[in-house]
Amino acid sequence: MGKRFVLDAPDFQNSPYTGMGRKHWIDAAKYLLTGVFCHVKDLDAPVLVPRYEENITYPNENTPEWKKKAEIFEGLARSFFIAAPLLVNEPDVVISGIPLKEYYKKQALSACTPGEANYVLGYEQLCRMEGRREPLNLYQQTVETCALVICLWVCKSVIWDAYEKTEKETILDFIKGYADKGTVPHNWRLFNMLDLAFLWMNGRKIDEGIMRHHAAAVLNYYSGDGWYRDGNAFDYYSIWAFQLYAPLWCTWYGYEKEPYLAAKFEENSNRFMENYPMLFDQDGWVTMWGRSGIYRNAAACGFDGNYFLKNHTARPGLARRICSGALLQFLERDDILYEGVPNLGFYRPFLPMVQPYSCAESPLWMGKAFLCLRLPESHPFWTAAEENGIWEAMEPGITRETLLPGPGLCLSSHQRNGAAELRSGKVVRSIGDVEGMCCYGKLAYHSRYPWEAFTNTGYEAQMYLLWDKEKGISRMPNALLWHGQRNGVLYRRYFFGYQSNTEMHWMDAIDLADYAVPEGLLRIDRIRLCRGNVKVTLGSYGFPDAGDVKVRSLAEDGARAIVLKGRDSQGREKQMAMTVYGMWEEMYLARSTDTNADTKESIVIGASFHRKEMYGYEPAVLVSQVITRESFFDFTEEEIFPIQDIGYADQEGCGAYGPVQVQMKDGRKITIDYGQMEGNLQI
């Protein structure tokens, strides 16, 4: 456990939601840097923090020698994200006995200087050590060169301008070694673009064709609604890479040298601002979703990125409210630090979400959120009163939905419990990619319930499993295809064992149809199985078990429900109910250890049924609901059992063909029609 951050004299006049003003952001920067620099003994020591994991993250026994230096660069460059804007405000700041101005001036130069102890190795040197593997000579150092040039620019008057000409040339030579060389053909192109732009700003001749090639490629990743596709996926990289770095590139280079491209990046950023706030819940919290969750509140840095543009549209009071809320989501906890430094997790240390390209210093990428401190005191970001966007205007019990066909996302903002739920699509992973499906392919993601890792209990959170009863093995989905929303119902399809060389009718699938209720989602899904003797299971969100979770079971007209009441690791009241109708046969509580990002122990409410025949005409529609509440105030029976009647097109009432009519107790009539999905499934 670490010591949580505490606001000193919060300002609830200008910041009525968070109490955080510019002073508190400076305090928070010092808070994080104090934890980091208590492990830095002097001006010559690199930023290397204590490790508790050495199997997944690097460096480990499988790490090649050439890559070990990358950890030093990550520690330097990523901590600099916090230190650089702090130095703009307090050039002479001293943290844990280390004067930051002297430290970063010395270490930035040392990292780029051959022969220095903390030299992180140039691109050509790495190629010689590894051998030529073009186009696969790709190095973590490329990522950090971009962080370095951003930070040198942010605190230009403090550090960059203090270098001698020869020292600047040494750094520029090092940056040039990476700028026009190999890179990963996705968000990494932006690192090279900013390296090239930094060189150009400092009088170096660059290959403008390479610059234009990268910028055009990045623009071509644009998918609509302000979002960019990063590789196969959509995730927060669209924010902390595309929405931060592309606007900065416009400022450094694009407006002057590539006005068409810059105008498109600006247009896309402003379109993004229209839906970006709906990613966050009523308190500005970040939803755990996608890879690299260890970067946490960096998901809010897109607002600052928008402010790099000439014509920006981010609403300052809302931007600061969300940025501050996202920061406090983590810093006000007592479990995100290990030895004073952000751990490898979302809240507590949580290895199921950690990728092998990370090291102990990688979580410091959350420091991107602190770039807002580069904005002067007089900037509207700091002077505007906090506002809370859609949350201020929603009527009681309303859920506001934002549909984003471009990235295949549906964002639900629930007024009643203040939560945000995210439903994704356009997801394809390798068969058996458990971590990938946890990050991207669950049925829904919740701002108050971080995704649950695989429990191996037979009931997985927000995911269907198929159990082959004859072979005794389970199969998980590996593709989640997007159809879109019609009449308030979102349609998608789960495939189990999806692969391009197999006709889809040989692959088991489930047609997904879900819609919002005041505190959650209701599912009317239809199975498309091509074999028999299969057990189908479904789980709720993972519920934190900090001890003394109360369980209540209910039934009404054939429907069943389980309600959980308990507290999370921080003592906050939590409540969850899962309800099933019709063909579901059993409900179960699956208890698990070390699969929850909030608590060591957790519970998943599960449901199951058995599909007996391969060709027999059996029930085909799965009806369920999961609702949550951030208090112990009991759900009403109507909230737990919201359906009055379900009507099917077939006389047997199986639902294997035709639309499904759902009469809700609140008067709504919902028609589920899977028939239009087949011709419009998207990846």
Q: Is the pTM of this model over 0.75?
A: yes
pLDDT at 524 over 70: yes
The residue among 371, 392, 413 that closes a domain is: 392
The residue among 392, 416, 446 that closes a domain is: 392
Residue range(s) defining the domain that contains residue 579: 399-676
| First-to-final CA distance of the chain | 42
What was the pLDDT predicted at 601?
Answer: 98
The answer to whether residue 584 is domain-embedded is: yes
CB burial of 11-37 (b: ≥16 within 10 Å; e: otherwise) equals: beebbebbbbbbbbbbbbbbbbbebbb
Instruction: Say if residues 190 and 149 touch (Cβ distance below 8 Å).
Output: no
Pick from 304, 344, 346, 343: nearest CA to 329: 346
What was the pLDDT predicted at 145?
Answer: 98
pLDDT at 516 over 80: yes
Pick from 102, 81, 80, 82: nearest CA to 91: 102
CB atoms under 10 Å from CB of 422, counted, come to: 20
The answer to whether residue 682 is domain-embedded is: no
The answer to whether residue 5 is domain-embedded is: no
The residue among 360, 392, 424 that closes a domain is: 392
Q: Which amino acid is located at 671 in the chain?
A: T
Instruction: Say if residues 505 and 531 touch (Cβ distance below 8 Å).
Output: no
The answer to whether residue 17 is domain-embedded is: no
pLDDT at 232 over 90: no
pLDDT at 2 over 80: no
The string of DSSP letters for 162-228 reads: GS-HHHHHHHHHHHHHHHTS---SSTTHHHHHHHHHHHHHTT----HHHHHHHHHHHHHTEEETTEE
- The structure tokens 């799965």 sit at 622
Q: What tokens were used for 604?
A: 């998943």
**Residues 379, 423 within the same domain:** no
Instruction: Say if residues 8 and 24 touch (Cβ distance below 8 Å).
Output: yes
What was the pLDDT predicted at 152?
Answer: 98
- The structure tokens 């930035």 sit at 108
Instruction: Say if residues 514 and 441 touch (Cβ distance below 8 Å).
Output: no
The answer to whether residue 8 is domain-embedded is: no
**Residues 178, 310 within the same domain:** yes
Instruction: Say if residues 51 and 344 touch (Cβ distance below 8 Å).
Output: no
**Residues 345, 414 within the same domain:** no
Instruction: Say if residues 464 and 497 touch (Cβ distance below 8 Å).
Output: no
**Residues 565, 665 within the same domain:** yes
What stretches of 226-347 adopt beta strand conformation (E)? 227-228, 337-338, 341-342
What was the pLDDT predicted at 471?
Answer: 83
**Residues 522, 642 within the same domain:** yes
CATH number where 161 lies: 1.50.10
- What residues have CB less than 8 Å from 84, skipping those under 6 apart? 104, 150, 151, 152, 154, 155, 159, 371, 374
CB atoms under 10 Å from CB of 131, counted, come to: 7
- What residues have CB less than 8 Å from 524, skipping those under 6 apart? 489, 513, 514, 621, 622, 623, 660, 662, 670, 672
The percent of residues above 70 in pLDDT, for the chain, comes to 100
**Residues 387, 403 within the same domain:** no
pLDDT at 572 over 70: yes
Instruction: Say if residues 563 and 635 touch (Cβ distance below 8 Å).
Output: yes
The string of DSSP letters for 586-633 reads: EEEEEEEES--SS-SEEEEEEEEEEE--SSS----EEEEEEEEESSSP
**Residues 494, 373 within the same domain:** no
Q: 236 by DSSP, 3-state: which? A: coil
At 575-632, the pLDDT tens digits run 999 999 989 999 999 999 999 999 999 999 999 999 998 898 999 999 999 999 999 9
172: left (phi over 0), alpha (psi -120 to 50) or beta: alpha
CB atoms under 10 Å from CB of 90, counted, come to: 14
What was the pLDDT predicted at 473?
Answer: 86
Pick from 172, 66, 75, 221: nearest CA to 129: 66
At 175-200, the pLDDT tens digits run 999 999 999 999 999 999 999 999 99
pLDDT at 543 over 60: yes
Average pLDDT over residues 351-380: 97
At 280-322, the pLDDT tens digits run 999 999 999 999 999 999 999 999 999 999 999 999 999 999 9
Average pLDDT over residues 102-127: 97
Pick from 578, 558, 587, 547: nearest CA to 640: 578
**Residues 97, 212 within the same domain:** yes
Instruction: Say if residues 423 and 410 touch (Cβ distance below 8 Å).
Output: yes
Q: Name the band, by pLDDT with cuts 50, 70 and 90, for residue 369.
A: very high
What was the pLDDT predicted at 527?
Answer: 96
Question: Partners of 672 in the beta sheet?
Answer: 660
Instruction: Say if residues 500 and 538 touch (Cβ distance below 8 Å).
Output: no
CB atoms under 10 Å from CB of 546, counted, come to: 18
* Number of structural domains found in the chain: 2
At 386-409, the pLDDT tens digits run 999 999 999 999 999 999 999 999
How far apart, in whole angstroms, are the C-alpha atoms of residue 265 and residue 244? 11
Q: What tokens were used for 420?
A: 């945000």
The DSSP symbol for 461 reads B
At 10-24, the pLDDT tens digits run 999 999 999 999 999
**Residues 78, 186 within the same domain:** yes
Residue 69's H or E segment, with its range, is helix 65-89
The answer to whether residue 600 is domain-embedded is: yes
The percent of residues above 90 in pLDDT, for the chain, comes to 94
479: left (phi over 0), alpha (psi -120 to 50) or beta: beta
CB atoms under 10 Å from CB of 276, counted, come to: 27
pLDDT at 1 over 70: no
What was the pLDDT predicted at 65?
Answer: 83
- What residues have CB less than 8 Å from 177, skipping those under 6 apart? 122, 123, 124
Instruction: Say if residues 592 and 585 touch (Cβ distance below 8 Å).
Output: no
The CA-atom distances, in angstroms, between 506 and each of 188, 496, 499, 502 are 38, 10, 10, 7
Q: Name the band, by pLDDT with cuts 50, 70 and 90, for residue 66.
A: confident
Average pLDDT over residues 13-38: 98
The CA-atom distances, in angstroms, between 373 and each of 25, 26, 153, 511, 579 are 7, 8, 13, 47, 47
The answer to whether residue 254 is domain-embedded is: yes
**Residues 590, 467 within the same domain:** yes
What was the pLDDT predicted at 532?
Answer: 87
**Residues 386, 473 within the same domain:** no
Average pLDDT value for the chain: 96
Q: Name the band, by pLDDT with cuts 50, 70 and 90, for residue 472.
A: confident
Cis, peptide link before residue 59, omega less than 30° from 0: yes
Q: 677 by DSSP, 3-state: which? A: coil
How far apart, in whole angstroms, are the C-alpha atoms of residue 566 and residue 578? 15
What was the pLDDT predicted at 571?
Answer: 96
Residue 641's H or E segment, with its range, is none
Instruction: Say if residues 606 and 539 touch (Cβ distance below 8 Å).
Output: yes
**Residues 403, 325 within the same domain:** no
The answer to whether residue 15 is domain-embedded is: no
What was the pLDDT predicted at 134?
Answer: 85
Average pLDDT over residues 638-646: 98
